[in-house]
């Protein structure tokens, strides 16, 4: 059987005009090798959490370097590698702010030439059939982070029979500049993601991955990207299932078709004239990428607000290949999308970590109490429609009409809930409720409340995580050495890793997260409009209904939509 498959794949490669190396001739004890339609790629071996060896190919260039004349241009796919690729080191990190917050590492290896991909796959001898592919889109507000292997380690997921693909895409101004005209129609970073998906279609079979079973997945802005691919005509046919964790593009405002004011702001920050878009873009093209990265922090008005800056746009038609031609929420409501099975979730305290820097800083706190209108509309991404009413109502309901007090635990809770609901929780609620009405495919909804040894938020009172915040669910899918020691094989955290990876694997393989080869102790049914069941993941798995619907009524009243 294996011989037959090898034979068929050799014929396949031959038809695509690839020189026929025999894997066995050049593969060594040190380096696995994969012969793809685009060329030969060498990797390294590595070992998973459970001690299983796998093949790791890091730093594969999937598009031409987006530098020089290609800056602010759509990506160009690489069809053929001129010489074998020695994919043993991660590619460069895309330019981003120097002083990243939190516990992220300094990225010394930044460069504008950053369109690289990593592919992780079980050993050839362990691949009996083509394996489902999990294509992971990294998070961080389209402003930061990277797919680098120390940030997203494959060591948990590769205990399952899957092929994992992670990759970088352009960030901030260099990825999202959109003047709304033909000079810069926008969405270049999203087109990077599409090119990465096309690369997967072309080459993943050689790594043992099934191009007809690709699960696009992502957290936060990665999740927003997942939904956008479901709608984009460019992404059609490139994926088959979706996992959208803790992020939704169903913002209250309609999507814009440009981010001209951000372009002007960037121009001013780099001493460029702002006469018109051709002048702006011509000047920005002359600036070193380091200068962009140095200014990114200056887009914040206070602390790290507003958290959403660069984003995708609905592209006007200038004859270019458009990533988005229709508002995302509208597309979902019309069912005008690629219908695939999807998992959606939110965590207990999304974006809670935005609250402490405010509650502990007397200057910012004073400003927030005194200029609620400006500060709240920025912090909570409030649209212009119904703004006055929103500002009043949010202050009444979330803050009980009281000022915020310095270092007050109660104020922290109140402000934290407001960040949670405005930034992620309510948009995700909208997404799940729209999707289960308009998708022909099942929607599974979960609520992640598990608090383990590690977390993205450490309580100042206990010195430990005390709630499930934004991104915490990813700690059980990817070892994240800057936040957590690798989770072992026993203990509470280990159980969560086993469950999460079982669900992911099962969903990627069968389009249903209920594991066939592991017992969750219950059956997790999809959410339907009339029976809005969700799975709560804490130490136990339990089923509930109507996730936080009472709490979100206020938002529904402020910004009503017709869900049907
Ligand atoms: C593999 O193992 C080495 C240690 O030998 C480690 O430094 C490297 O980053 C690991 N990860 C991957 C994905 O190859
Ligand atoms: C790939 O790079 C490593 C480290 O630089 C080197 O040891 C190895 O020989 C190279 N392999 C190939 C096939 O060029
Ligand atoms: C943009 O401004 C420059 C400088 O004033 C001018 O030469 C050019 O014609 C303008 N372009 C457009 C498209 O208006
Ligand atoms: C669906 O969206 C596309 C743009 O993505 C648009 O061209 C098309 O007209 C829409 N179809 C319907 C039926 O509205
Ligand atoms: C408080 O915020 C102000 C204004 O953003 C900033 O300049 C100052 O450094 C902050 N203070 C502390 C202690 O973080
Ligand atoms: C709703 O879903 C739950 C869980 O699958 C099931 O037990 C219950 O019977 C369903 N209720 C209705 C009214 O369909």
241 is a domain residue: yes
Residues 296 and 167 both lie in one domain? yes
* pLDDT confidence band for 101 (50 / 70 / 90): low
- Whether the CB-CB separation of 367 and 470 falls below 8 Å is answered with no
In this prediction, residue 378 has a pLDDT band, given cuts at 50, 70 and 90, of: very high
C-alpha to C-alpha distance for 382 and 400, rounded to whole angstroms: 19
pLDDT at 20 over 90: no
Q: Which ligand gives the minimal distance to the CA of 546?
A: 6
pLDDT of residue 157: 98
pLDDT for res 17: 37
What integer is the mean pLDDT of 547-555?
A: 97
- Tens of pLDDT, residue by residue over 146-195, are 999 999 999 999 999 999 999 999 999 999 999 999 999 999 999 999 99
Give strand pairing partners of 165.
Answer: 119, 135
Ligand 3 shell residues, CB under 6 Å: 275-276, 278-279
Residue 441 lies in a domain: yes
Q: Do 355 and 287 share a structural domain?
A: no
Q: Is 104 in the pocket of ligand 2 (CB under 6 A)?
A: no
Site to substitute for ligand 4 among 336, 338, 438, most atoms within 8 A of C-beta: 336
Residues 188 and 241 in one domain: yes
Each residue of 316-369: pLDDT tens digit? 999 999 999 999 999 999 999 999 999 999 999 999 999 999 999 999 999 999
Spell out where 431-472 has E strands: 443-448
> pLDDT (tens digit, 9 = 90+) per residue, 115-147?
999 999 999 999 999 999 999 999 999 999 999
pLDDT in tens, 67-99: 999 999 999 999 999 999 999 999 999 999 976
Task: Using alpha carbons, select from 18, 35, 17 the residue that is nearest to residue 26.
Answer: 35
What's the 3-state SS for 478-509?
Answer: CCCCCCCCCCCCCCHHHHHHHHHHHHHHHHHH
On the question of pLDDT at 533 being above 70, the answer is yes
For strand 39-42 and strand 85-86, is the pairing parallel, antiparallel, or unpaired?
parallel
Q: What separation in Å is there between the alpha carbon of 178 and the centre of ligand 4?
A: 22
| Spacing, Cα 490 to ligand 6 middle (Å) | 34
Residue 552 forms part of a structural domain: yes
Say yes or no: 336 and 377 in one domain.
no
Locate 561 and state its tokens: 């939509």
Report whether 136 contacts 129 (CB < 8 A): no
**Atom in ligand 5 nearest the alpha carbon of residue 357:** 14
Residue 334 Cα: closest atom of ligand 4: 14
What does the pLDDT read at residue 18? 41
Calculate how far, in angstroms, residue 149's C-alpha sits from the geometric centre of ligand 1. 8
**Mean pLDDT to the nearest integer, 21-37:** 79
CATH number of 430's domain: 3.40.50.1820
Copy the structure tokens of residue 98: 């120097």
- Considering the domain architecture, whether residues 77 and 147 belong to the same structural domain is answered as yes
Q: Is residue 297 part of a domain?
A: yes
Q: Which of 340, 375, 390 is the last residue of a domain?
A: 340
Same domain, 380 and 306: no
User: What's the rounded Cα separation, in Å, for the pair 369 and 354?
Assistant: 16
Give long-range contacts, CB 8 A cutoff, 24+ apart: 22-31. 23/124, 31/88
Specify whether 105 is located in the same domain as 207. Answer: yes
Instruction: Label residue 29 by pLDDT band (50, 70, 90).
Output: confident
- Together in a domain, 508 and 416: yes
Query: Does pLDDT of 100 surpass 70?
Result: no
Please report whether residue 564 resides in a domain: no
User: How far, in Å, CA of 158 to CA of 120, rounded?
Assistant: 7
CB within 8 Å of 367: residues ≥ 6 apart = 302, 375
Is 6 or 86 the better-scoring residue by pLDDT? Answer: 86
Q: How far is it between the farthest Cα atoms of the chain?
A: 73
How many angstroms is it from 193 CA to the middle of ligand 4?
21
Alpha carbon nearest to ligand 3 atom 3, residue: 279
* 374 within some domain: yes
- Domain containing 135: what range? 2-340
| % of the chain residues with pLDDT over 90 | 88
User: If we measure between CA atoms, which residue out of 210, 216, 164, 162 comes closest to residue 190?
Assistant: 216
Sign of the CA dihedral 498, 500, 501, 503?
A: positive
Listed in sequence order, the DSSP H helices in 371-478 are: 372-379, 387-399, 409-420, 426-438
Supply the pLDDT for residue 98: 73
Mean of all residue pLDDT scores within the chain: 93
- Centre of ligand 6 to C-alpha 542, Å, is 14
| Whole-number Å distance between alpha carbons of 341 and 328 | 18
Residue 23 has pLDDT above 60, yes or no: no
Last residue of a domain, one of 310, 340, 370: 340
- CA 139, chain centre distance (Å): 4
> What is the tens place of the pLDDT at every residue in 224-283?
999 999 999 999 999 999 999 999 998 777 899 999 999 999 999 999 999 999 999 999
Q: Are the C-beta atoms of residues 372 and 363 closer than 8 Å to each other?
A: no
pLDDT tens digits, one per residue of 320-334: 999 999 999 999 999
Decide which of 340, 368, 396 is a domain's last residue.
340
Residues 413 and 312 in one domain: no
Determine whether 56 is an active site residue: no
User: What token pair was written down for 443?
Assistant: 């929607």
- Token code pair at residue 301: 């008005």
Same domain, 329 and 391: no
Which residue has the least CA distance to atom 5 on ligand 6?
A: 525
Catalytic residue among 56, 178, 213, 220: 220
pTM, to two decimals: 0.94
Residues 207-219 pLDDT 10s: 999 999 999 999 9
> What pLDDT does 254 receive?
86
Q: Which residues pair with 122 in a beta bridge?
A: 54
Q: Are residues 397 and 331 in the same domain?
A: no
Task: Note whether 38 and 202 are within 8 A (CB).
Answer: yes
Tell me if 55 is assigned to some domain: yes
Which residue lies with its CA nearest to atom 10 of ligand 2? Answer: 86
Indicate whether 325 and 349 sit together in one domain. no
The pLDDT of residue 385 = 87
Specify the number of domains making up the chain: 2
12 has a pLDDT exceeding 80: no
What is the model's pLDDT at position 250? 81
């Amino acid at each position: 059987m294996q011989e037959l498959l090898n034979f068929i794949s050799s014929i396949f490669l031959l038809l695509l005009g690839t020189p026929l190396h025999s894997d066995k001739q050049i593969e060594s004890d040190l380096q696995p090798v994969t012969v793809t339609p685009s060329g030969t790629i060498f990797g390294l071996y590595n070992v998973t959490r459970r001690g299983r060896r796998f093949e790791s190919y890091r730093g594969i260039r999937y598009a031409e370097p987006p530098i020089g004349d290609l800056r602010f241009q759509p990506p160009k796919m690489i069809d053929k590698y001129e010489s074998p690729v020695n994919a043993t080191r991660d590619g460069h990190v895309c330019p981003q702010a120097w002083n990243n917050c939190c516990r992220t590492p300094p990225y010394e290896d930044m460069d504008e030439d950053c369109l690289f991909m990593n592919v992780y796959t079980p050993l050839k001898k362990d691949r009996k059939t083509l394996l489902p592919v999990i294509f992971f889109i990294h998070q961080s507000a389209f402003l930061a982070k990277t797919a680098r292997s120390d940030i997203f380690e494959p060591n948990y997921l590769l205990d399952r029979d899957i092929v994992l693909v992670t990759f970088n895409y352009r960030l901030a101004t260099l990825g999202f500049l959109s003047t709304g005209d033909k000079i810069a129609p926008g969405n270049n970073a999203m087109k990077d993601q599409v090119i990465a998906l096309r690369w997967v279609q072309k080459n993943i079979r050689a790594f043992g991955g099934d191009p007809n079973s690709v699960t696009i997945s992502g957290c936060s802005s990665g999740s927003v990207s997942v939904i956008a691919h479901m709608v984009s005509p460019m992404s059609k046919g490139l994926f088959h299932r979706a996992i959208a964790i803790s992020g939704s593009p169903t913002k209250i405002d309609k999507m814009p078709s440009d981010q001209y004011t951000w372009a002007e702001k960037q121009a001013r920050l780099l001493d460029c004239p702002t006469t018109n878009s051709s002048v702006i873009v011509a000047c920005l093209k002359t600036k070193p990428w380091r200068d962009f990265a140095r200014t990114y922090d200056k887009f914040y008005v206070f602390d790290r607000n507003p958290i959403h800056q660069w984003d995708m746009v609905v592209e006007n038609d200038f004859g270019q290949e458009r990533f988005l031609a229709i508002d995302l929420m509208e597309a979902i409501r019309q069912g005008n999308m690629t219908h695939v099975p999807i998992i959606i979730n939110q965590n207990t305290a999304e974006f809670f970590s935005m609250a402490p820097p405010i509650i502990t800083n007397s200057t910012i706190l004073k400003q927030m109490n005194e200029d609620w209108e400006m500060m709240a509309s920025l912090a909570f991404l409030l649209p212009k429609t119904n703004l006055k009413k929103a500002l009043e109502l949010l202050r009444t309901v979330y803050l009980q009409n009281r000022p915020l007090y310095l270092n007050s635990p109660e104020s922290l809770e109140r402000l934290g809930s407001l960040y949670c609901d405005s930034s992620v929780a309510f948009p995700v609620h909208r997404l799940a409720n729209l999707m289960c009405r308009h998708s022909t495919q099942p929607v599974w909804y979960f609520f992640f409340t598990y608090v383990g040894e590690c977390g993205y938020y450490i309580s100042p009172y206990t010195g430990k995580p005390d709630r499930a915040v934004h991104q915490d669910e990813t700690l059980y899918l990817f070892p994240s050495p800057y936040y957590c020691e690798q989770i072992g094989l026993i203990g509470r955290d280990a159980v969560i890793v086993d469950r999460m990876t079982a669900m992911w694997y099962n969903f990627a393989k069968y389009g249903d997260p209920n594991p066939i080869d592991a017992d969750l102790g219950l059956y997790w049914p999809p959410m339907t409009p009339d029976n809005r069941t969700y799975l709560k993941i804490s130490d136990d798995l339990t089923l509930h209904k109507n996730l936080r619907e009472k709490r979100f009524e206020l938002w529904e009243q402020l910004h009503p939509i017709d869900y049907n």
